[in-house]
A and B are shown apart, each in its own frame.
Chain A
Amino acid sequence: MNKTADVLIIGGGISGCAIAYNLAKKGVKNIVVLEKNYLASGATGRCGAGIRQQWGTEMNCKIAMESIKFFETANEELEYDGDIEFKQDGYLIVASTPKEDEQFQKNVALQRSLGMEVDYLTPQEAKKIVPYLNTEKLTSATFCPKDGHLNPFLTTDAYAKAATRLGVEIYTYTTVTGIKTKDGKVIGVMTDKGDIATNIVVNAAGGYSKQIGEMAGVNIPVYSERHQILVTEPVEPMLGPMVMSFSLNIYCQQTPHGSIIMGRGDSNEPKDLRITSSWQFLDEMAKTVTDLLPPIGKLRVIRQWAGLYNMTPDRQPIYGAVKGLEGFYLALGYSGHGFMFGPMTGLLMSELILGEELTIDISKLSIDRFAKNELVFEPSVV
């Protein structure tokens, strides 16, 4: 294992691999990525694999729009020997309460002002897009045809391979046990395989980012929360877009492989690191999906799993440096949408670290916003 690194990234998910790739592409040498398990073993590989631009804050819309542009040509850009399975059949987001309907009208106005291709629909119009939809409880919907699905394992694999070709060293099954600091600066990282001296550490540890922050003496205002998902047997194409509802608490999409992935949140989840499966989720998910999309009730469940959302107080990510600890950077707190932001996380973090002009001004997303109380609450999180 390397004894030194110019940049050391903690976390082998989409964020860590994309940051490493972007830095290496800009010519940075001696980049190390540490992953305590295997690549995409955390939140990235456990996510719902949905990719959307329809967000409720300007910052999240911009990051998502630019990320989708990247995914459209990512196989070529990353010279991948496989296929990241990007499917753009859209996201149909349905509203079931007057308050939600009002929010959706605001969202669409914002999204259109940013140049997004998105429509506000009646339940009848929504049913034309997804004929299986039970519109009984619905007030309205929004639809963006360029949203869709992307394979998290293969996308991370593509980034990791491209980074490796550019000289990045990725150490899997390597656990960070401590971070060394001296006079307000990062000087190294301790692992179960030995120490690495470095002056730049990026915390891209997803669900475990708070614990990594503590190792450096930095209190990051995030917590992790279990979210569960199930997948059905694969069937012929029957559901094009992702169907999603915040108020009904469901997202559901058919993958290119044919299986249907669905998930929902639980506001009673404890704030901890558990990733076990529960029968309560299976029961509630089955009831929710058979109510909104009745034909899906005929499909067999073959597996359920769980992963961690790393939540911030305003449900937007934290990007950038930390005042008082030179060389410590944060790329975390995605609140359930870190995978789809991966390309911009990679690009913007590389620009921040190298002191370059930012492609999107994300200064509002620094950790300072919490001390200054300058939060912008993201309304559209499931």
Chain B
Amino acid sequence: MDDNTIICRCSDITLKELRELISKGYTSVEEIKRINRAGMGPCQGRTCENLILREIAAFKGVDISELKISTRRPIVKGITLGQIASAGGDSLE
């Protein structure tokens, strides 16, 4: 992969940008997303999180299974506020 490979497609974060941030000491997905928005877009990290974890693991010299993943937050799939408002409370129970 070259430096310009896109790691986070929602927020346009390249491999080079990611590696620079990791090398500055931002060595968890939670810290990285808060600085450069990786994983904060519509896909909520479904594409980039594993790639980011792999880079952190390589940097720290640990197995990827030792790293923490980010908090999983609702909603699972993007739907509009209008759809939610018109669906009503009862139908969501």
Interchain nearest-CB distance for B91 vs A (Å)? 10
Interchain nearest-CB distance for B34 vs A (Å)? 4
Q: Are B31 and A38 in contact (CB under 8 A)?
A: yes
Residues of B contacting A82 in the complex (Cβ-Cβ under 8 angstroms) = 35
Q: Are A282 and B75 in contact (CB under 8 A)?
A: yes
A51 on the B face (CB < 8 A): no
A301 on the B face (CB < 8 A): yes
Q: Are A286 and B85 in contact (CB under 8 A)?
A: yes
B30 on the A face (CB < 8 A): yes
Tell me which of B78, B81, B82 has the highest count of chain A C-beta atoms within 10 A of its own C-beta.
Answer: B81
Q: Are A283 and B84 in contact (CB under 8 A)?
A: yes
Number of A-B contacts (CB under 8 A): 82
A residues contacting the other copy or chain, number (CB 8 A):
34
Partner-binding segment picked from A188-196, A292-300, A314-322, A326-334: A292-300
A47 on the B face (CB < 8 A): no
Q: Contact check: which of B42, B74, B81 meets A297 at CB < 8 Å?
A: B81
> How many angstroms between the C-alpha atoms of A12 and B91 in the bound complex?
41
> How many angstroms between the C-alpha atoms of A305 and B70 in the bound complex?
13
> How many angstroms between the C-alpha atoms of A296 and B30 in the bound complex?
28
A139 on the B face (CB < 8 A): no
A246 on the B face (CB < 8 A): no
Q: Are B81 and A232 in contact (CB under 8 A)?
A: yes
> How many angstroms between the C-alpha atoms of A12 and B33 in the bound complex?
17
Interface residues of A, Cβ cutoff 8 Å to B: 38-41, 45, 82, 153-154, 157, 232-234, 257, 277, 279-280, 282-283, 285-287, 289-291, 296-305
Give the 6 A-B CB pairs with smallest separation, nearest first: A297-B82, A300-B78, A286-B84, A153-B34, A286-B85, A290-B85
Interface residues of B, Cβ cutoff 8 Å to A: 28, 30-31, 34-35, 37, 40-42, 44, 71, 73-75, 78-82, 84-85, 87-89, 92
23 contacts between A and B (CB under 8 A): A38-B28, A38-B31, A40-B34, A45-B34, A257-B37, A277-B74, A279-B92, A283-B89, A283-B92, A286-B82, A286-B85, A291-B85, A297-B82, A300-B42, A300-B79, A300-B81, A301-B75, A301-B78, A301-B84, A302-B42, A302-B78, A303-B75, A304-B74
